[in-house]
Amino acid sequence: MADARPFHWEYQEPPVQREAVRVEGGRPLKGEVAVSGSKNAALKLLAAATLTGERCRFTNVPEIADVRVMVETLRDLGVVVDHPAANTYEVAAGDVDWLFVPLEAAAKMRASFILLGPLLARFGRVIISNPGGDRIGRRPVNLHVEAMKRLGAEISYKNGYYFARSPGRLRGGDVQFPSVTVMGTENAILAAVLADGHTSIRPAAQEPEIDDLIDFLRKMGADVTRSAPDVIEVEGRRRLRGADHRVTPDRIEAGTFMIAAAVTGGDVMLRHAPTSQLGAFLEVLDRVGVSVTPDGESIRVQGRSGAEYEATDIETAPYPGLATDLQPPTAVLLTRASGTSRIHEAIFEDRLEWLAELGRMGADVDIVDDHHATVTGPSTLRGCELEMSDLRAGASLILAALAADGESLIHGAHQVRRGYENIERKFLDLGARIAHVSEG
Ligand code: EPZ
């Protein structure tokens, strides 16, 4: 007889291999860095490949933990996923065995929920776990569920799982979101492309990764257009064909390395940078006084060694506004700006908590409430022992450690491996003193 005590059906984060990053700061970064493919495009493209039984081939896929989780999840469904070369994946979703996305996948990665739309549209049923994801807010999925119901799906919720089915083919319809949702928009598109009839989605998110997804869907034979910047129209098709696609570059990784150059007083050239996708971010760097020289898909960033930058207020917003994922790296830059900068994180609640770690390094930060903080500088950051709380805050602690005097040891480094390909290698090649430390 198993242990007689009642089992507590609550999710326990699986014990992760404790990893850390050791950094010796104070060295200006110099040289070239190649921007990898976008995490937030690649995950949706891999999911979109389940819309057909034919083979789809993706190149420029970032070799990151979240991609591996998505690949494992697809394979667990019975989807054939080959990995013939670095950054290349081939997907063939013939007959899948199970239409079940387990708690383990969802707990590791919120983006697993993007499988709801395509599996529902293609197979008519799916059981999918309510996702966890980054600790940057409640992260509900109610808007996704409402959109599926709008397209004719029946969805019930039980014990942490959504049970979704569509009697027959999904029906096109008008999806009206109360507010912009990136993956909500993507799930609606991925359901509508095989639905019977016309679907309009508004307000549709405008993130560039969505246009990369639409580009791929069109290659599959889908009829998807933006009739206005925030309106997407879909004419459903009975079936879609396989297609090849190169993943768009990662604008968040690009912005992260630009801040690294700025805060270390370095001189860095980014290659394969999605310059046209960084408008609002470039405006912030300009206000702060960072020298940025875009040239096609290259961007040169020259930091100021010692000289001060100018404080400025920043506010995150859905694209084309300032990306919330670039708010944490920008906060590190603002520690070196003279004056007080106000941060308004308008998208997620508690995406500012990590600033307390920055404060432990000597930054003068004040977390006003869930959505507002101030950073006053310039302050000299001191290396110390730190803990990563989520992906973007984790990368930002590395930026702070690179800029700081002395050595830092940052625990929880598995967080940053979720979304940045070869991050230590890339920084080493720019002259940083950084090493991965396994903590057993
Ligand atoms: C995507 O998350 C990205 N993730 C996030 O990047 C990014 O920060 C976010 O968009 C905003 O740009 C992926 O693409 C995998 P939302 P998503 O739906 O789609 C609320 C990273 O580090 N909301 O646009 O989940 C939500 O709570 C990650 O790469 C609901 O209330 O974000 C938030 O306040 C972090 N109900 C707001 O909407 C819902 O059903 C915007 O969220 C859905 C969302």
Task: Convert the pLDDT of each residue in 195-243 to its tens digit.
Answer: 999 999 999 999 999 999 999 999 999 999 999 999 999 999 999 999 9
From residue 129, give the alpha-carbon distance in Å to each of 78, 96, 415. 17, 18, 21
The pLDDT value given to residue 5? 57
Which ligand 1 atom is at minimum distance from the Cα of 183?
Answer: 19
Task: Convert the pLDDT of each residue in 243-280 to its tens digit.
Answer: 999 999 999 999 999 999 999 999 999 999 999 999 99
The pLDDT value given to residue 4? 59
Whole-number Å distance between alpha carbons of 210 and 62 = 17
Decide: 224 and 233 in contact? Cβ < 8 Å: yes
The pLDDT value given to residue 18? 84
Q: How many domains does the chain have?
A: 2
What is the best residue among 36, 39, 40 to mutate for testing ligand 1's pocket, by most ligand atoms within 8 Å of CB? 40
Say if 11 falls within a structural domain: no
182 & 304 share domain = no
265 & 401 share domain = yes
What is the best residue among 112, 146, 181, 392 to mutate for testing ligand 1's pocket, by most ligand atoms within 8 Å of CB? 181
Protein residue whose Cα sits closest to atom 9 of ligand 1: 182
The pLDDT value given to residue 136? 61
What is the best residue among 44, 183, 421 to mutate for testing ligand 1's pocket, by most ligand atoms within 8 Å of CB? 183
259 & 111 share domain = no
Whole-number Å distance between alpha carbons of 214 and 208 = 10
Residue segments in the chain with a per-residue pLDDT below the cut of 50: 1
| Residue 4 CA to ligand 1 centre (angstroms) | 41
- Residues near 140 by Cβ (< 8 Å), separated by ≥ 6? none
277 & 392 share domain = yes
Decide: 383 and 26 in contact? Cβ < 8 Å: no
Task: Return the number of other C-beta atoms located less than 10 Å from residue 171's C-beta.
Answer: 17
From residue 111, give the alpha-carbon distance in Å to each of 70, 134, 259, 301. 8, 10, 26, 32
Give the domain-ending residue among 200, 228, 246.
246
Q: Which domain holds residue 412?
A: 19-36+249-438
| Residue 145 CA to ligand 1 centre (angstroms) | 14
What is the best residue among 128, 157, 347 to mutate for testing ligand 1's pocket, by most ligand atoms within 8 Å of CB? 347
The pLDDT value given to residue 330? 98
- Residues near 436 by Cβ (< 8 Å), separated by ≥ 6? 19, 20, 21, 413, 424
CATH number at residue 75: 3.65.10.10
The pLDDT value given to residue 104? 85
Give the domain-ending residue among 246, 261, 281.
246
The pLDDT value given to residue 3? 56
| Residue 140 CA to ligand 1 centre (angstroms) | 9
Q: Give residue ranges with CB within 6 A of ligand 1.
A: 39-40, 43, 110-111, 134, 137-144, 179, 181-184, 324-325, 347-348, 391-392, 419
The pLDDT value given to residue 113? 96
276 & 382 share domain = yes
Say if 8 falls within a structural domain: no
Decide: 106 and 131 in contact? Cβ < 8 Å: yes
| Residue 310 CA to ligand 1 centre (angstroms) | 30
| Residue 436 CA to ligand 1 centre (angstroms) | 29
Say if 216 falls within a structural domain: yes
The pLDDT value given to residue 11? 52
CA 356, 357, 359, 360 dihedral sign is positive
Decide: 143 and 191 in contact? Cβ < 8 Å: no
130 & 220 share domain = yes
The pLDDT value given to residue 439? 83
Percentage of residues in the chain having pLDDT higher than 70: 94
